[in-house]
Amino acid sequence: MTTLSTYLQITNNLPKWQAMTTASPDVATQTKYFKDNIGKVTSADAFMKDARLFNYAMTAFGLSDLTYAKGLMQKVLAGGVSSSSALANTLNSANIKAFATAFDFADNGETTTTSSTLVDNVVGKYTEQALETNQGQQNPGVQLALYFQQHAPSLTSVYGILADSKILTVVQTALGISSSTSSQSIDTQYRLLSSKVNLADFKDPTKLQQFISRFAAQYDYNNGGDANSQSSLLSTLFDTSGSGSSFGLDTSLLMSVQGTKFGYF
């Protein structure tokens, strides 16, 4: 299966895939521990001392790579999010800010973890991360596509693309921008992406899916997709639901899927 066809299979049947992920032994075990114990936590220090709770929450917010950086995260939680100078607001990381907002002990104190909304939000995010990770073990392109679908609509600045390596990879791949440009200055990268990307498009469901489709096709091309996979992808683009409906891509894009390497939009 192509990256796009797998991605569509999941997104078109998302409740089923979420349920399967939730029921998997490891996810179910970790989620039960989180639900049973998070309400007992009354401070940021206690939260961070329970490695299972802390790691679960960090993973849920896409911060598993920073679970070792407890000193940094302790300062993030201590500063809260109310002040514009708070660390969570100055790190230019949407994931860290979301984490600090959810676990805002600085402003909410002992009541921070008593909200059922908080629990449902974190569990939902953890399930999403687990689903993406599971898919990534089979096809990293699918993981990137699922991540992009979830997070790209919330981007408010091109700097947000540069601050998120997964989103940046999707954008670079879709637009045929060499990953070597990441070694250039931030200002140079910002100007390049600003000339190629309209963030408003990511808030439009149709345009968002078109961009992900472009990424998926280019990802497969870059990773050895053959003529058969390109032909299969073309069929999928024309009919994503089995009802004969078009996915809404223009003719030039559809033609390019048949073997021509993509350039910029």
What average pLDDT does the chain have?
A: 86
Tell me the CATH class for 14-128: mainly alpha
Long-range contacts of 164-167 (CB under 8 A, 24+ apart): 164/94, 164/95
Q: Mean per-residue pLDDT for 222-242? A: 51
- The whole-angstrom separation of Cα 112 and Cα 264 is 46
Which amino acid would we find at residue 250?
Answer: D
In this structure, are residues 39 and 114 in contact, taking their beta carbons and an 8 Å threshold? yes
- pLDDT of 225 reads 64
| pTM metric for this prediction | 0.76
- The domain segmentation of the chain, as residue ranges, is 14-128, 139-257
Same fold, 14-128 and 139-257: yes
- The whole-angstrom separation of Cα 29 and Cα 37 is 12
Residues 6+ apart with CB under 8 A from 251: none
pLDDT tens figures, 118-170: 999 999 999 999 999 999 999 999 999 999 999 999 898 999 899 889 999 99
Which amino acid would we find at residue 162?
Answer: L
In this structure, are residues 252 and 237 in contact, taking their beta carbons and an 8 Å threshold? no
Phi/psi for 150 (5° steps) reads -75, -35
89 has a pLDDT exceeding 70: yes
pLDDT tens figures, 175-186: 999 999 999 999
H-type helices in the chain, by residue range? 3-11, 14-23, 25-37, 44-49, 51-60, 70-79, 87-90, 94-102, 105-108, 116-136, 140-151, 158-163, 165-175, 186-196, 205-222, 227-238, 251-257
Which architecture characterizes domain 139-257 according to CATH?
A: Orthogonal Bundle (1.10)
